[in-house]
Structure 1
Amino acid sequence: MQSANPIPSTAPAADDRLIPAYYVRPEGLGPYITRLLAGCSNVFDIKATMAADLDHGGEDLRAGQGVVEDGALLQGDVIVQAGARIEAGAQVIGPVLVCAGAVVAAGALVRDHSVIGPGCRVGFGAEITRSLLAGHVFMKHPCFIGDSVIGRRVNIGSFCSTTGLRCDRGPVAEPALEEITVNLDGQRIPTGQTKFGAVIGDEVALPAGTVLSPGTLIGPGTVVYPRDHIGGFLPAGSRVR
């Protein structure tokens, strides 16, 4: 069951700032993630496509069998590819794919419809739900990533958080009803989703304590200096003070 309440996307696919390749290079991400990114016309399609793939649970996702240590708590369909490891004390609630070389450490929580890409490190107190960690993402401290797409070699500092729900129109409701939009050139672009956190491009580091507004887009190579809140669109190579 997909709990992100998708709405048919009307995002303008022709804008290069909305295509997956603007944010994430596919090299070294393995066949599934490479195919996923190539098959989506804009970044807002990634989450729904990934969720459908995980719900299907096809054999093409099951590349060998990784290590699940005694004391790890797994629920539902959790695919652990060869070379991946889920440590004792970690909790993973499927459907989830943990790709080759990834480690989900003791005290981490990975929830439904997430893909943990090659070489990722998810540490104590880190929580992930309905998100793609493309590859070599470091989340080794308490933090939260939800309804988001995280590129290669991204570092998520302690107590960082994405925000996937609007909270500017009265009490928050579940299931969510208000569509998330993103701001490009002063225009509101619909995501087609009522829960959408952020897209973070390759080689971005979020300093400790950073909170991202719903619908934040951060281009690759952006340098973020310590601050408590970021939102909107940040082009590739930006420097944010």
Structure 2
Amino acid sequence: MTHTSATIADPRLAAGYYLRGDGLGPYVSGLLARAGTVFDIKPLLVADLDHPATHGLYDDREGVIEPGALVEGDVIVQGGARVESGAMVFGPALICTGSVVSAGALVREYSVIGPGCRIGFNAEITRSLLAGHIFAKHACFIGDSVVGRRVNFGAFCSTTGLRCDAGPVAEPAIEEITVRLDGHRVGTGQTKFGAVIGDEVVLPAGTALAPGTLIGPGSVVYPRNQLGGTLPAGSRVR
């Protein structure tokens, strides 16, 4: 990690600034409690899904995978969750209680779909935490991101986790993603980092988020094509 002790102490980078951890089930709540900053959430999640038994994730695998769903790798579907026929899920991944991955949805490696989420047709999720009760029911892309509870993604919304301002795109990525805070750039320690979207944010249809976007909880985003930077809690963006 490239962030310093000074940036770690900034409350605008704390996981709790963006997401309330209570009521999200033992795994998601515990994950958020362990994260020193929002930059720590994805690395912790990846490590946990590589060793799911260590974190008790095998204790509940009572969910439904319907015939006709394409499920590969270590995919944990908790009781009360459902992967519908025609959905695609590639593990390691965790689908928490009460969530539905609908026909035509794609959930890729190192994703945690928290409790009560709805992932719809043509929605793609990868390397991300969806904390809980999130609607991504239309065509959209959420990658390398952290999404708070009760966030709604309008149709054709997209996070962007890869820098493309320095010539041809390299894969695997080599340029660190930074975020802007008080006019300074703060390193995330990651070469792919999409967005952190706080609790109860609604993204209008067609919104594209730049790499390293931080949106505080309760923010209102009016229809626009592109959005980036750091938005404090309760922001109004036209």
Q: Same fold (TM over 0.5)?
A: yes
Single out whichever of 20-29 and 220-229 deviates more from structure 2: 20-29
How far apart, CA to CA, are the structure 1 residues paired with 2:25 and 2:67?
Answer: 27
Unpaired runs of 5+ in structure 2? none
Corresponding residue to 1:238 among 202, 214, 235: 235
1:36-51 correspondence to structure 2 within 5 Å: 36-51=31-46
Corresponding residue to 1:86 among 66, 71, 83: 83
Q: Tell me the amino acid that sits aligned with residue 10 of structure 1.
A: H
Residue 20 of structure 2 is aligned to residue 18 of structure 1: no
Residue 117 of structure 2 is aligned to residue 120 of structure 1: yes
Q: Tell me what 1:206 maps to.
A: 203
Q: Tell me what 2:171 maps to.
A: 174
How far apart, CA to CA, are the structure 2 residues paired with 1:180 and 1:214?
Answer: 7
How far apart, CA to CA, are the structure 2 residues paired with 1:20 and 1:66?
Answer: 29
Give the Å deviation of 1:155: 0.1
Corresponding residue to 1:132 among 129, 132, 139: 129
Unpaired runs of 5+ in structure 1? 1-7
SS of structure 2 residue aligned to 1:135? coil
Residue 56 of structure 2 is aligned to residue 60 of structure 1: yes
* Kept after mapping to 1: 8 A contact 2:61/2:76: no
Moved over 4 A (4+): none
SS of structure 1 residue aligned to 2:35? coil
* Kept after mapping to 2: 8 A contact 1:9/1:44: no
Give the Å deviation of 1:38: 0.5
% of aligned pairs identical?
Answer: 70
How far apart, CA to CA, are the structure 2 residues paired with 1:42 and 1:214?
Answer: 17
Corresponding residue to 2:212 among 212, 215, 238: 215
Deviations 1:170-201 (A, max 9, x none): 01110001000000000000000000000000
Single out whichever of 26-35 and 125-134 deviates more from structure 2: 26-35
Corresponding residue to 2:105 among 91, 94, 108: 108
Give the Å deviation of 1:65: 1.1
How far apart, CA to CA, are the structure 2 residues paired with 1:134 and 1:24?
Answer: 8
Task: Name the TM-score, length of structure 1 as normaliser.
Answer: 0.96
SS of structure 1 residue aligned to 2:9? coil
Residue 143 of structure 2 is aligned to residue 146 of structure 1: yes
Output the aligned Cα RMSD.
0.8
How far apart, CA to CA, are the structure 2 residues paired with 1:93 and 1:176?
Answer: 21
Task: Name the TM-score, length of structure 2 as normaliser.
Answer: 0.97
Corresponding residue to 2:157 among 155, 160, 182: 160
1:184-199 correspondence to structure 2 within 5 Å: 184-199=181-196
Give the Å deviation of 1:130: 0.1
Q: Tell me the amino acid that sits aligned with residue 236 of structure 1.
A: A
How far apart, CA to CA, are the structure 2 residues paired with 1:110 and 1:165?
Answer: 19
How far apart, CA to CA, are the structure 2 residues paired with 1:104 and 1:19?
Answer: 29
Task: Count the aligned residue pairs.
Answer: 234
